[in-house]
Chain A
């Protein structure tokens, strides 16, 4: 994972639930690659077509609330965003995102200072630079960084105790 990266911002509101991230009716599709075009469909159906690799999602509080469907962080990862920045996260989504190697950053200040299309720079575990301001961000605990750096829990298991299959 790159320590510092710059990306274009898409702005979402508070309480973005997992049914918005991927509605139930698309969960039967065979793969996350098939599902990702329906990401955020009830709220912003155009979003998957607009997001390019390295873009950043900025949202308000309680991002990922709702069901335990792991397809939610998988789809965001499959859209190739570099990270999500939100005021806070629902706990099941938080675990699922880490387990799938999706970087989440918690910050409840930046929302006021960025708008869609802005370019911002993130230094993991240190700061976000946006609109001429600097927002400090906390480092994740080492255990969780280990999972993230490995690209998810299954890959971390592979490294840690050899029970995952070599790829």
Chain B
């Protein structure tokens, strides 16, 4: 009986020739990432609860500050100090002010075939490079950091065969939000979402990143794209080589198989409070939803592609006087690229507020949170009740082009509806 990509990665990490869904295995982790959302809690447990602890392999651990950067109050500043000091003391690489954790991991670390724990739910992102990334809490992270190992229950895999190409003006974000709308917010709970097919292979690594990143919003343990030469090229461009390509065997067993014709996907605008609250942008536009704020950024949708899309809409236009438009590039590298391409000038002249690379409004901290009854249209990862500010506020999820056009119009719409 064959194995899926995810099963092969777990088998390698567990030193087994084969594994089956439902098995529990002890695995050796290839990398571990923790951000400033919870690292201070991990450090407290390390210092106060363990007897003679050590970090099993500091070279496999990365700390990244992105959730509250720069610190917005003295408590956060103290948590950051704790994280900096621990990193220095234990020889752990620390990033501060350089971007959202998952974008930095993609740019600097992830290799195909690796098994990676991140103390953040969107660790599923790394499947864009054919790796198995999964989110854990700080206690699991502590155990992994101290022992170098952890346990995993081998999940079933759901296969998504992607066919054809997305139409112009339709983006990978629309595709993954459509899939989540179809299967539901727990449609892949504890499962792997595996993407393959000619439509997947035609996608750039950036596009695949958008897909894998949001798989956790369907409950997935990991999202993995079948790797190909684009993975090798991406890693080489970012100064690294290595890793292993795993693809599913022809006789691998899947919990379900879905086929998607990419040419049928429409621009999406998810309604508030649940990520599977699917609607087309056309439906929402017909409801004339007036907005107070638009956000372009996040580990899902803050890369150069989205900034280019936003700039193309905003160039020569002005943000509506009753709307705030916030833009947070996902990393320093993205920010610099946007500077070199002249994109920043287009955004700033239109009236956008440029934020430093961080998680920003997407997780309702740092700056830009919204007030009672306000409406946000966002390229962020979630639209839960109160996620980006007051409990009564409402968050719609859409692609970058929609967010930019809505910021100009003052209500949610596509770029074709602008004068």
Contacts and interface: CB of A to CB of B under 8 A. Distances in A.
Interface of A: 15, 17, 19-20, 23-25, 27-30, 41-43, 61-62, 65-70, 73, 88-92, 95-96, 99-100, 141, 143, 152-154, 157-158, 162-166
Contacts of A91: 189-190, 219, 221
Given A19-B385, A42-B385, A152 B139 contact: yes
B139, B190, B365 — most chain A CB neighbours (10 Å): B139
Given A68-B137, A95-B137, A96-B140, A154 B49 contact: yes
Nearest to B45: A154
Nearest to B53: A163
A92 B189 CA distance: 10
What range describes how many residues of B lie at the interface?
Answer: 35 or more
B139 A68 contact: no
Contacts of B120: 67-68
A24 B36 CA distance: 13
Closest 6 CB pairs of A and B: A70-B137, A96-B137, A42-B391, A42-B386, A62-B186, A99-B139
Contact of B51 (A41, A89, A141, A162): A162
Contacts of A62: 185-186, 189, 219
Interface in B25-45: 37-38, 41, 45
Given A65-B186, A90-B219, A99-B140, A23 B38 contact: no
12 contacts: A19-B386, A19-B387, A30-B75, A66-B384, A67-B121, A70-B138, A91-B219, A91-B221, A92-B136, A95-B136, A163-B51, A164-B49
B51 A20 contact: no
Nearest to B393: A42
A166 B219 CA distance: 37
Contacts of B216: 92
A153 B143 contact: yes
A143 B142 CA distance: 18
Contact of B119 (A68, A88, A157, A163): A68
B364 A25 contact: yes
B365 A24 contact: yes
A41 B391 contact: yes
B185 A166 contact: no
Contacts of B102: none
B189 A70 contact: no
A154 B50 contact: yes
A65 B364 contact: no
B386 A164 contact: no
Given A42-B385, A68-B121, A96-B136, 13 more contacts: A17-B382, A20-B384, A28-B68, A29-B75, A42-B386, A62-B185, A65-B185, A65-B219, A66-B382, A91-B190, A153-B139, A153-B143, A154-B142
B151 A99 contact: no
B53 A25 contact: no
Contact of A28 (B75, B121, B139, B219): B75
Given A67-B121, A100-B139, A24 B364 contact: yes
Given A91-B189, A153-B140, A166-B51, A28 B386 contact: no
A67 to B, nearest CB: 5
Interface string B66-82: 00100001011001000
B203 to A, nearest CB: 26
B135 interface: yes
B295 interface: no
Given A96-B139, A154-B139, A165 B364 contact: no
Nearest to B387: A19
B358 to A, nearest CB: 13
Contacts of B364: 19, 23-25
